[in-house]
Amino acid sequence: MPLLAIETSCDDTCAAVLDGPTVLSNVISSQADHERYGGVVPEVASRHHLELAIPVVEAALSDAGAGFDDLEAVAVTAGPGLIGALLVGLSTAKAIAAPRRLPLIPVDHLRGHVAANFLEPEPLEPPFLCLVASGGHTFLAAVRDHGGFEVLGETLDDAAGEAIDKAARMLGLGFPGGPELERLAADGDPDAFTFPVAMSRDPGLDFSFSGLKTALVYICRDLGEAGTAERAADLAAGFQAAVVGQLTTKLRRALDQEPWPAVALGGGVAANGPLRRAVAQLCAERSLPFKEVSRELCTDNAAMIGSAARFTEPIAYPDYLRFDAFATGPRGGG
């Protein structure tokens, strides 16, 4: 019973076809154009989504060996995200579903990141603790069932990925900064510069990354342009280690507070190698299973939206025709 899922909350135009927990196709069209703007420009992203939406949907169907006739439901990200971008995906999904009277399943994007862990192969069964870190969000989720999650702690300012992107820009790297910063950091000494260990004395599970960013601004200012360029690898390594350090510290603390049978990751930052290794080591120390989903399922994609849709109440035709997107709003879905 194939399900079509569409995701357009930020700058990637994504469509996937799923059969239950099995991903039949997962097409991600990244918009390279944002590199020249040094970040995601909502209007530029929305224009690309409109151009790419139908071709990406058709590619997903074709990769899955399916056609519109085979579909039994359409899932789509309803929020949170860039409202203009979301509206392209939602309008497309509603319009695909309506003439076939298919049910529509609106999905919370953040639940999608958690639900990537429910996919084959080796789906992870709740309960588990999930760290979601991306360019837009950073939070620790208590996943007690398939239908939602509880936020145990979240960033009080920048998201981890946002901080990494800003650091990458200060070091003269392209956008998105994550992969480039990781590559540069591989040649650097993480201990060459001292970055503040943010929120370490805070007993809670919240995160903060703006202090790290400010520290980097001051270090770069002291080093000057040439000095910064010369020490870029060390700076990248130090900054990355500080981000990874904070994420794993909070994860460790959450595990100390409550026993969890497994740990999972989600979001674009979860594709970061050093973070994966640090979390794997933390789990190994405690003999906890660590669910490592593929990088493709960590960054924004539609398969994770289809996965969350399996545990979301569908809306029958014609009840969803008035359904609207939300830029910010409910999270966790219960």
Give me the residues that bind other proteins (CB under 8 A), please.
36-39, 41, 43-44, 46-47, 49-50, 53-54, 57-58, 68, 83-84, 87-88, 90-100, 318, 321-325
232-257 helix and 273-285 helix, angle to the nearest 10 degrees: 30
Q: Which residue has the tokens 């946002």?
A: 162
Taking the complex as a whole, how short is the minimal distance between the CB of residue 12 and Zn ion, in angstroms?
9
Q: Which residues of 265-283 are buried (b: 16+ CB within 10 A; e: fewer)?
A: bbbbbbbbebbbebbeebb
- E strand map for 38-97: 73-79
Asked whether position 300 contacts Zn ion by CB under 5 A, the answer is yes
Taking the complex as a whole, how short is the minimal distance between the CB of residue 4 and other proteins, in angstroms?
10
Which residues are CB-contacts of 43 (< 8 A; sequence separation ≥ 6)?
A: 84
Which residues are CB-contacts of 11 (< 8 A; sequence separation ≥ 6)?
A: 30, 31, 34, 40, 45, 48, 85
Closer CB to other proteins, residue 84 or residue 332? Answer: 84
Closer CB to Zn ion, residue 190 or residue 306? Answer: 306
Closer CB to other proteins, residue 44 or residue 233? Answer: 44
Closest C-alpha to 188, from 238, 246, 244, 226? 238
300 binds, among other proteins, Zn ion, none (CB under 5 to 8 A by kind): Zn ion
Closer CB to other proteins, residue 54 or residue 156? Answer: 54
| Residue from 26, 117, 134, 307 binding Zn ion (CB under 5 A) | 134
217 binds, among other proteins, Zn ion, none (CB under 5 to 8 A by kind): none
Closest C-alpha to 111, from 311, 314, 261? 311
53 binds, among other proteins, Zn ion, none (CB under 5 to 8 A by kind): other proteins
Taking the complex as a whole, how short is the minimal distance between the CB of residue 90 and other proteins, in angstroms?
7
